[in-house]
Amino acid sequence: MTTQATVAWLFPGQGSQKKGMGEPLFAAFPELVARADAILGYSIEELCVRDPERKLAHTEFCQPALYVVNALSHLHALASEPPPRFYAGHSLGEYNALLAAGCFEFEVGLRLVARRGQLMARASGGGMAAVLGLSADAVRGELLPSAGSTDLDIANINSPTQVVVSGDQEAIKRLVAHARDRKSVKVVPLMVSAAFHSRHMEQAASVFAEELARVVIRDPQVPVVSNCTGAPFAPGKLREVLAQQMRSGVRWWDSLVTLRRLGVDEARQLGPGRILSDLWEEARKVQVPPATSAPSVPAVARETPDRPDSAKLPATRRPPRLGAAFCDRHGVRLPYVAGSMYRGIASADLVVRMGRAGLLGFFGAGGLPLTEVEQAILRIRRDLGPDVPFGVNLLASPDRPELELGCVDLCLRHGVRFVEAAAFTQLSPALVEFRFRGAEIRGGRAHAPNQVLAKVSRREVASAFLSPPGEDLLLRLQTAGRLSAEEAAAARRLPVSTDVCVEADSGGHTDGGVALVLLPAMVKLRDQLASRDRLDEPARIGAAGGLGSPQAIAAAFVLGAEFVVTGSINQCTPEAGTSSAVKDLLAEVELHDTTYAPAGDMFELGARVQVIKRATLFPARANQLYQLYRTYDSLDVLPPRATAMVERFLGRSIDEVWTLSKQRLADRPDELARVSRSEKARMARVFKWYFSRSIESALAGDLGERINFQIHSGPAMGAFNAFVRGSALERWQERHVEVIADELMSRAEYSLSANM
């Protein structure tokens, strides 16, 4: 039996550039090259292949050029070879190693490298020289003092007898002159414009540290050996080490020795030249003890999907450890879902962004006219294409079943294969029809093309979704011609939901459940029902509510979740379909800035929603209205002070609101008749005007109505704000939904691997 070699890929840095580099690669990756051209403002292919103005010799052009060629070389290698176990890069090449390890996107790295090159190019006045034939200790302790050049710094330790020094030009000249009289050592001045990797880079490094703070950088998902420390990058230290790298020596030999200790058998250079491959061959001849432990990195490597509008570099092709069954079933790369949010807050932009990142998102169709829902579906399908999965919210409407049926018809007509069932207390015909339309028994097993993610918080509701539909409901659908006999037969062998999300205390409608109690109980219930009903494919159990930090997500998986659904935190993203005023407020929310208020859509029942209380009077005013509703039976018997207060909340007179309410109910004559007959119902209808007003003013960002904003959110928002404080994600403008997903999941995975 042959043991597979442990491989590392190495990326070269400045000094390896040459005219013609990367020539066969540019045509193979035209979209990536176009992205680079757009960022840099010039043709990267022209610079690398022809270099008509001889700019490759200049730092500010050389560094982005090498970065792009190294990146293309990595993509080319991945097309025909399995990914390596380790990465490393020499100085600039370290950015390609980090890119390959999933720390940032191609565009982010290119902007950083271009800025790095500009800053280093400005720090002119110094020089560098290669010292051949002496060790770093001998250079530092003997050669530099004897030459009177003690103000030079060790910039590179490439091998035991190849050292580069950096510093003032006069000190370099003294060293060169001194070395002429020594036969055992050779000093060669390098053609550079500044004293790189020395104290001369201090100011440039300080400025660059500010640049690093403004971008999203994740911990490596494949071990990367830092040439600044000679050891694998430690979690949470990447920005700090990259800023230090500009002014510190490159410990390349230590990096190679570390790779040897970690068990690397083969290492090869990607990118122009072969100097790193030659140095590796030298390192292979040295005997080194094995490492006592493997580097501490997340156990799961992120797989980067193909995107129609952006070329991202795949870091690896390993399947995810968490939620593998969920990912395989739905064709996504992480067991992470952006749930729907009412009135299009979970917008088409949000769903498209998730889909392009290889993640699942649901459009917030609840409360929107069917015409708007259809427009959103068409837009999402157009932007994602026919094969990328996405879903649409299906909101329970027991009083208006035509809304459910209309949404289901839209989804079936336009090939939407996934709905998120929310607020259901019992199964509806429309929901069951969607799930089992097109179902069949094939190869002795039942299959259904359509999938349902049901959000539940109660055992009896979960039981209905975890089981096949009842015979009465199937018979009704067959009689109405909505399901065929074959579809009904398949339905008897499958659960109504492919995925059941256990919703603990959360934003919006909530039963205030505790995840620690609910999740294990629901997992056990699923297993019992699957065994009882002999299901061909049991549902997967997920978690939602309170998921605003990596630790909370990690805990959900420990409790038995196979996927997670986030909601509140996605409101505070550029893609969310709410106002900037709301996002500004949400970005400041602390852990205890939420409270409970009556739910406008279930006002008479006393249902509650969790909302933001910071900078808004909505919770207090909503509770006052509900207390009036419980105390009095008619608007006509309200005390004068209460009437004045209500009209202040409504922003107009009670009579005006009642007139407008009747107009809104004109297309629902039965409901209008019911409300008109009952003084209590009329009171509720008028009071609910305030709830509609508070939602609409928040969505519109009407600052004059800010004190009335109704913003559904749970404590997860405050937890997330605390998690990202001090990072680039502190600003909501940087909180793109897929970035949040990657950041939370990668750190949750690391938390699990580190602590368990």
Strand order of the sheet with strand 594-598? 508-509, 608-612, 594-598
d(CA 202, CA 193) in angstroms, rounded, equals: 16
Residue with tokens 């330790």: 157
Strand, coil or helix: 566: strand
**Token pair listed for 752:** 């699990």
Pick the catalytic residue: 16, 73, 74, 91? Answer: 91
The region that residue 340 occupies, defined by phi over 0 for left and psi between -120 and 50 for alpha, beta otherwise, is: beta
H or E segment to which residue 19 belongs: none
Phi/psi at 172 (nearest 5 deg)? -65, -45
User: Which residues does residue 163 pair with via DSSP β-bridges, in sequence order?
Assistant: 131, 157
d(CA 86, CA 225): 8
Is residue 91 part of the annotated active site? The answer reads yes
> Which DSSP string corresponds to 123-165?
S-SEEEEEEESS-HHHIIIIIHHHHT-TT-EEEEEEETTEEEE
Q: What φ, ψ does residue 606 adopt, rounded to 5°?
A: 80, 15
Q: Give me 76's structure tokens.
A: 């080319």
DSSP 304: P
List of long-range contacts for 474-479, beta carbons under 8 Å, 24+ apart: 474/432, 476/429, 477/429, 477/432, 477/433
Please report which helix (H) or strand (E) contains residue 399, including its range.
none
Amino acid at residue number 627: Q
Q: DSSP alpha helices (H): ranges in 320-400?
A: 324-330, 348-356, 370-384
> Is 76 an annotated catalytic residue?
no
H or E stretch including 299?
Answer: none
Q: Are 535 and 496 in contact (CB under 8 A)?
A: no
Determine contact, residues 441/490, Cβ cutoff 8 Å.
yes
Catalytic residue among 90, 197, 200, 736: 197
Identify the CA nearest to 123 among candidates 15, 67, 12, 199: 199
Question: What single string gives the DSSP state of each residue in 98-132?
Answer: HHHTTSS-HHHHHHHHHHHHHHHHHS-SEEEEEEE
Q: Which residues are catalytic?
A: 91, 197
